[in-house]
Structure 1
Amino acid sequence: MSTFRFQALKEAAGRKPVKVEELDRKSVIFGSNVFNDKAMRQYLTPEAYQAVKNAVQHGTKIDRRLADYIAIGMKEWALSKGVTHYTHWFQPLTGATAEKHDAFFETSLDGSDPVEKFGGSQLAQQEPDASSFPNGGIRNTFEARGYTAWDPTSPAFIYGTTLCIPTVFVSYTGEALDYKTPLLRALHAVDEAATEVCRYFDKNVKKVTATLGWEQEYFLVDAALAASRPDILLTGRTLLGHASAKGQQLEDHYFGSIPTRVLNYMRDLENECMLLGVPVKTRHNEVAPNQFELAPIFEETNLAVDHNSLLMDVMQKVAERHDFKVLFHEKPFKGVNGSGKHNNWSMATDTGVNLLSPGKTPMSNLQFLTFFINTIKAVYKNEALLRASIATASNDHRLGANEAPPAIISVFIGQQLTKVLEELEGVSSGKLSPEEKTDLKLNVVGKIPDVLLDNTDRNRTSPFAFTGNKFEFRAVGSSANCANAMTILNAIVARQLRDFKKEVDALIDGKGMKKDDAIFNVLREYIKETKNILFEGDGYSEAWEQEAAKRGLSNHKTTPAALKAKVSEDALKLFEELGVMNHVEVEARYEIELEEYTKKIQIEGRVLGDIARNHVIPTAIRYQNVLIENVKGLKEIFGSEFEKIGREQIALIKEISEHISEINSKVEEMTEERKKANALDNAEAMAHAYCEKVKPYFDIIRNHCDKLELLVDDEIWTLTKYRELLFTR
């Protein structure tokens, strides 16, 4: 066994459980490090406090004079907790968070009069280098200026000794260079559209908030073992490795007893989350060995996205204290389940109503059906765009891989709700008579509460499923920023609700229909139009692929193919009309996502080639030489009888030689294809070249490497094996 691998295994085996002292009750410590309502009341003047509340609730702009008062209060609160620095915390299009720390400490020009200083200008705006972040050509290298601007709807928080201020990130010319800005615009659009529709049912509704509850799946690997694998360190996944004899086939890990060391990590993480106001609630073992899940209580979408981005950073930092490495990659290990981040989405009014939850009265059920059916219509009209929202190089490994939904977007609503829609569709067309309307409400709509919450089954193969009082977008990848999917989902629902209101108003104003009759007429047409997106069966089956094609549904299995929907004429029109993104921002993001895909495949190709030639082949040759010496010895001892005795050894030497030869030739061919792809000057063409010409070599090279892992003596194999990575806890 290689010294490095031996040392890593020895280190992992010698880990002692880290004791984690429980802090006070979670309800007591929750949000202690957040500049929340309680802290603002204590540290802000009444006028400054109200300015923040108005900004959060009504989108009112905060006066610069009041920003100074807010900054002073925020600084005093932070200093009282031992904070020394502040940073604008933002989410550039790298997929990670970004921060630049500045000290509160300042002095005069001559070095005298030291003071802790933080004013409204520092709170409201900073100037990071926009050209050094992905920008899709919006900023050239010599055009570096960009701005971060305070987002008061997401409260500031303290991590370590730094005050973190959530911000948006835009270019000098105003284009969004982050995930948060388009999300905030989409949330504003769905608020306006949903509020207008809500007023058909309740005139008191003044605001609708999109809510999100994410489920974060992840793998934990011992830090020493992870460090012994170059592929994990550089790509976040294993590019080769033979399956362990025992994997997940016994189904003994899911919801099993949480290992002590892992539980200590989880408790430490939860304490950090409580202090940061991240309302984590659920923890459990997932299906694959060393795979786990964490989920929070639902929150307003913008805050939920911030909390998930923050959580992923905190998870890595806490893992270091416990000698773990967290893997967020959607498919870090071949042959076992990958990881997703289910996005549970709904909408709630400022009057306390979940718009996707059935009510107990005919009117509330009509409201439920309105938002339920409009969401289905939005997905139906924009299924390719929704697929594009979750397209990444890493998620391509997971979609349709028997543990995640397929790349075909469909909607699952369950048998009971399917029957409800069928009954609604069956009502005679035209204006409803009072008798028909009464019968419809009592005998169809009124039944929904009895069948929906407990009698709607779940379909794990569905990418977009209704689960009682929310829709679950199951296809989002575990490493993704939720904002990407949530921006598009909220945008398509916002446009659909706008269109719905126009149609209903046209029937009311133009044809003199009563409001309820008009709503039912429009909804009934939507039910007829959207049947093709509804699917209750096995999403993994070939029959569904064929059926989906007949229904006209897209099936983009790779990221380069899926992303094209983002720059379609309809998508550009959608984003422009809603004010979510202009064509420059959309096209820049398309360019960035294509480049990210290309770079990830490029890095994986390089790493795979390096490991194959620098680890696998030398180790195989070393073992082959041992066999050759053995054969020579046998020949000396047995002479003429050697042919009968040494046949197996000779065959083994030949088999190893064949695998070595294939690895060498395929790595060479893959390298040549990379060179050809790199010579292309078009991001789209390059991404397709890497996808279709370079990536196919990965499985071929891996197959030969994995065969050698089975043939070569375990004592000299340099790479930590799957059984060690997945079962060392």
Structure 2
Amino acid sequence: MAEKLTDIFGIDVFDEATMMECLPKRTFEALKKTIKNGEDLDPQVAEIVANAMKDWAIDRGATHYTHWFQPMTGITAEKHDSFISPAPSGKILMEFSGKELIKGEPDASSFPSGGLRATFEARGYTAWDCTSPAFLKEDAAGVTLCIPTAFCAYTGEALDKKTPLLRSMEAISKHAVRICKLFGHSDVTSVSCSVGAEQEYFLVDRENYLKRDDLLFTGRTLFGAMPPKGQELDDHYFGSIRERIASFMKELNVELWKLGILAKTQHNEAAPAQHEIAPIYTTANIATDHNQLIMDIMKKVAIRHGLACLLHEKPFAGVNGSGKHDNWSIVTNTGKNLLEPGKTPHENVQFLLFLSAILKAVDLHADLLRLSASNPGNDHRLGANEAPPAIISVFLGEQLADVLTQLIETGAATSSKQGGRLRTGVHTLPELKKDATDRNRTSPFAFTGNKFEFRMVGSSMSIADANTTVNTIVADVLSDMADELEKADDFDLAVHDLIKKTVTKHQRIVFNGNGYSDAWVEEAERRGLPNLNSMVAAVPALVTEKAIKLFDKHHVLTTTELKSRVEVLYESYSKAINIEAKTMIEMANRMFIPAVIKFTTTLANSINAVKTAVPTADVSVQADLLTETSTLLAQAKAALNNLSKYTKTAASIEEGEEQANYFRNVVFPAMDELRTPIDLLETIVDKEVWPVPTYGDLLFEV
């Protein structure tokens, strides 16, 4: 099995090993230099690479190529072109030029642009991201060469999620290198962001999925009563994986490994039918590409197994939703993890400086971090006692918290708590080395040994926004720190003073307690930490004076690009809630209300039939049931009328902040008012009459 795995791993990727085989040595070295140093790509190098890439892809059965990009929809996009060109003899040639490799031209007018492009302004460009390897994708259309690209408008603004991410990676590398050189590391020429995104998801039977309009149109169940059993026994978490699911996971792994995706861990998650897959870390832009591929491939493989993969953050009310833990660290080109504290963190001044920079960045820009993990689905999950709260804080653990306390109180840290040994009380079990600190799964931004885990990101989201934000806010603080330290006469004294000053000023962001508790909400308010309880509340953070200055300074996003993203976010929220509301209206009108009327009619006929047959018979049970059902039906109809009215009103409001707030504050609560009586009716109405599969069917029939 190990030999088979090594044989298939990366076979569909034009990676470094493949390039070494396919490219002349001089060309390979030139391309590597471009990738490593961020230098301009020589057109002659691009021409040779394009020809080699084409030959490799055709040998593997490819007939088409595509510039694979990530517009602001949060998913990927592609337009396929074949390699064929006409020959004078009437035959064809298989051609692919350097120009076709470097630049594509998809229509830019139909993607979300937030006003950057009008309908009549269609031109946009895709540009090859040579730092992310090309790959082959095989499906019913055949084999396609996919070239990861950035996507920009004719006017130069970024229309995608990858371009800002790449810009932010350059920004943090630039300023982290400055800090490293101050510590005497002259061999450090670049710093990369290392990212690993854990992906949670649900799998349900596809036949049941296709019977639920809400799952089809919105990705989540808009109605549904909890079954007698949910996740309260914790028997699904890390439990034995069912055969059908194991078969899905096996094929998924193979597909991912062929694409060079380092899928490492798989297990059952807390909720019934919920699972998780986690890869090994790689650079931020490749990790982002890989995560997009993981989501796409999971859906395709699920269909082959008669399943449907649900990536919505909260597909089922009452059980845990799904997130995407974004594990982030920074690593030098010499292989040094700058967030590795070592055995004695109190003596690791360089680590403490980077740590203090991150604390300051998170404290100053908590609103931007909150926004980077915001979408309509995540509003159901964050703060719901199953995921991090909407309040941003940092967990450091006992060891680092103690070091910071020493710095704040005495001006110097002289010791670090050690983990010791863990004794189980069973002589036959080995004595285990214990970490110096516990974990905290309630923290939004937790230090976990040698990295930070940003746990707020939603399961359906691209990780590009989160990593762009983290990179930029940390780069900004490192820039200020480097400016200060480069002017210092006594570096050692200056760096110690800077660390103490920074952690003292921003200690409010550190919280090691229970983030799910009501007490923390009150404590966070006392500390002055923002509590943005919805996506709509978080959006304005992107265009504050502070944010505009931040992103402009590091050339990550211009003011125009920021404003366009605000429009896109408001629009995407309004459209998502509008689709959900309209789906609820249709399901209530065409499914649930007719089913309940049928049930009540049968019940009424039964009462009349019994009374006719036995006039003295006691029909109080049937009568009470009929009254209860009819009352709930009337409540549902009244709520349906209100939702229909509010949805129509929303359509007349101008798109943007006002409309998004109306959907959030008026339409969204009305949806809950409609759901409540219908969910209660589900627990009463004959199962044979109920028109859709229930939660019990969806969660346990897998």
- TM-score class, shorter-chain normalisation, is over 0.9
**SS at the partner of 2:321?**
coil
Give the Cα separation in 2 of the matches to 1:174 and 1:400: 39
Alpha-carbon distance in structure 2 between the residues aligned to 1:569 and 1:703:
42
Distance in 2 between the 1:23 and 1:106 partners?
42
d(CA) in 1 for partners of 2:539, 2:27: 44
2:436 is matched by which residue type in structure 1? Answer: N
Matched, 1:379 2:379: no
Contact 2:346 2:415 in 1 (8 A): no
Q: CA deviation at 1:199?
A: 1.1
Measure the CA separation in 2 of the matches of 1:448 and 1:214. 29
Q: Which residue of 2 aligns with 1:341?
A: 324
The whole-number CA distance in structure 2 between the counterparts of 1:403 and 1:127 is: 44
Contact 1:156 1:165 in 2 (8 A): yes
Other-structure match for 1:14: none
Q: Does 1:405 align with 2:388?
A: yes
Q: Give 2:295's aligned amino acid.
A: M
2:79 counterpart residue number: 100
TM-score (structure 2 length as normaliser): 0.95
User: Does the aligned pair in 2 maintain the 1:424–1:444 contact within 8 Å?
Assistant: no
Match of 2:242 among 259, 272, 275: 259
Query: Partner residue of 2:260?
Result: 277
Q: Which residue of 2 aligns with 1:168?
A: 150
The structure-2 alpha-carbon separation of the partners of 1:249 and 1:637, relative to structure 1 and needing over 3 Å to count, comes to same
- AA in 1 matched with 2:624: A
Decide whether the 8 Å contact of 1:597 with 1:687 is kept in 2.
Answer: yes
SS in 2 for 1:221: strand
Distance 2:436 2:606 in 1: 67
Matches of 1:189 and 1:487, distance apart in 2: 10
- Deviation, structure 1 residue 311: 1.1
1:287-342 CA-partner distances (Å, limit 9, x unpaired)? 00110000000101110001001111111111111111100000000111000000
Gaps of 5+ in 1: 1-21, 429-439
Query: Is 1:623 paired with 2:606?
Result: no
Relative to structure 1, the CA distance from residue 665 to residue 556 in structure 2 (aligned partners, 3 Å threshold; closer, same or farther) is same
CA distance in 2, matches of 1:364, 1:124: 48
Conservation of the 8 A alpha-carbon contact between 1:358 and 1:364: no
Of residues 250, 271, 274, the one that matches 1:291 is: 274
State the match for 1:499 in structure 2. Answer: 480
CA contact (8 A) 1:415 1:456 kept: yes
Mapped partners of 1:362, 1:539: distance in 2: 25
Q: Match for residue 434 of structure 1?
A: none
In the alignment, which residue of structure 2 is the partner of 1:563?
A: 539
Equivalent AA in structure 1 for residue 553 of structure 2: E
**Aligned-partner Cα distance in 2 for 1:728–1:105:** 48
Structure with more of its chain in helix, by fraction: 1
Partner of 2:686: 713
SS in 1 for 2:570: helix
The answer to whether the Cα contact below 8 Å between 2:137 and 2:146 also exists between their aligned partners in 1 is yes
Question: Counterparts of 1:499 and 1:148 in 2: how far apart (Å)?
Answer: 34
Give the Cα–Cα distance (whole angstroms) in 1 for the partners of residues 362 and 415 of structure 2. Answer: 24
SS state of the match for residue 671, structure 1? helix
Q: Deviation per CA, 1:618-658: give whole Å up to 9, x if none.
A: 0111011111111101211232x34xx11221121122111
Matched, 1:181 2:154: no
Pair 1:197 & 2:179 matched: yes
Correspondences of 1:476-491 after superposition (within 5 Å): 476-491=457-472
2:230 is matched with which residue: 240, 243, 247?
247
Q: Which of residues 259, 279, 284 in structure 2 aligns to 1:301?
A: 284
1:115-126 maps to which residues of 2 (within 5 A)? 115-126=93-104
Matching of residue 37 in structure 1 with residue 1 in structure 2:
no
Q: 1:363 to 1:534 in 2, by over 3 A?
A: closer
Quote the offset at 1:453 in angstroms: 8.2
Q: Which residue of 2 aligns with 1:46?
A: 25
Contact 1:130–1:139 under 8 Å retained in 2: yes
- Compute the TM-score of the two structures, normalised by the length of structure 1: 0.92
What secondary structure sits across from 2:550 in the alignment? helix
SS of the equivalent of 2:148 reads: strand
Asked whether the equivalents of residues 129 and 148 of structure 2 are also in contact (C-alpha less than 8 Å), the reply is yes
3-state secondary structure, aligned to 1:130: coil
Task: Provide the C-alpha distance between the structure 2 equivalents of 1:256 and 1:345, rounded to a whole number of angstroms.
Answer: 28
**CA–CA distance in 1 between the matches of 2:20 and 2:507?**
52
Write out per-residue CA displacement over residues 193-242 of structure 1, whole angstroms, 9 at most, x where no aligned residue: 11100112222211111110110000001111100111001100100011
Select which of 642, 646, 671 maps to 1:698. Answer: 671
In structure 1, how many angstroms separate the alpha carbons of the residues matched to 2:215 and 2:655?
30
1:327 corresponds to 2:310: yes
Paired residue secondary structure (1:454): coil
| CA distance 1:453–1:139, shift in 2 (3 Å) | farther
The corresponding residue for 1:354 is: 337
Shift of 1:360: 5.4
Q: What is the aligned partner in structure 2 of residue 664 from structure 1?
A: 637
Mapped to 1, the partners of 2:107 and 2:609 lie a distance apart of 67
Distance 2:362 2:93 in 1: 55
Whether 1:458 and 2:434 are equivalent positions in the alignment is: no
Match of 1:136 among 114, 129, 132: 114
Q: Which residue of 2 aligns with 1:636?
A: 612
Mapped partners of 1:491, 1:649: distance in 2: 65
Distance in 2 separating the partners of 1:591 and 1:200: 42
Letter in 1 for 2:407: L
Q: Is the Cα contact below 8 Å between 1:182 and 1:581 reproduced in 2?
A: yes
The 1:362–1:417 alpha-carbon spacing in structure 2 relative to 1, beyond 3 Å, is closer
Cα distance in structure 2, aligned partners of 1:127 and 1:93: 17
Question: Could you tell me how far 1:261 is from its partner in structure 2?
Answer: 0.8
Show the 5 A alignment for 1:188-227: 188-201=170-183, 202-227=185-210
Q: How does 1:564-603 map to 2 (within 5 A)?
A: 564-603=540-579
* Aligned match of 2:300: 317
- The 1-side partners of 2:415 and 2:48 are apart by 56
Contact map agreement 1:358 1:449 (CA 8 A) in 2:
no
| Maintained 8 Å contact 2:31/2:45 | no
- 1:686/1:588 CA distance change after superposition, 3 Å: same
> Structure 2 CA distance, aligned partners of 1:199 and 1:360?
23
Other structure's SS at 2:320 match:
coil
The answer (yes or no) to whether the contact 2:345–2:351 under 8 Å persists in 1 is no
Please give the secondary structure, in 1, of the residue aligned with 2:465: helix
What's the secondary structure of 1:694's corresponding residue? helix
> Per-residue deviation at 1:142?
0.5
CA distance in structure 1 between the partners assigned to 2:126 and 2:226 by the alignment: 46
- Helix, strand or coil: the match of 2:302? helix
> Partner of 2:512: helix, strand, or coil?
coil
Deviation, structure 1 residue 47? 2.5
* CA gap 1:156/1:448 in 2 versus in 1, 3 angstroms: farther
Map of 1:113 onto structure 2: 91
Residue 282 of structure 1 aligns to a residue whose secondary structure is strand
Letter in 1 for 2:108: A
Distance 1:258 1:406 in 2: 30
> Once structures 1 and 2 are overlaid, which stretch shifts more, 687-696 or 554-563?
554-563
Deviation at 1:682, TM superposition (A): 4.0
Tell me how many residue pairs correspond in the alignment: 686
Residues 23, 419 of structure 1: CA spacing in aligned structure 2 closer, same or farther, 3 A cutoff? closer
Cα offset, 1:111, TM superposition: 7.1
Q: Distance in 2 between matches of 1:650 and 1:723?
A: 28
Q: 1:577 to 1:392 in 2, by over 3 A?
A: same
Determine the C-alpha separation between the residues in 2 that align with 1:426 and 1:620. Answer: 67
Which deviates further from its counterpart, 597-606 or 368-377?
368-377
Kindly, what percent of the aligned residue pairs are identical?
Answer: 46
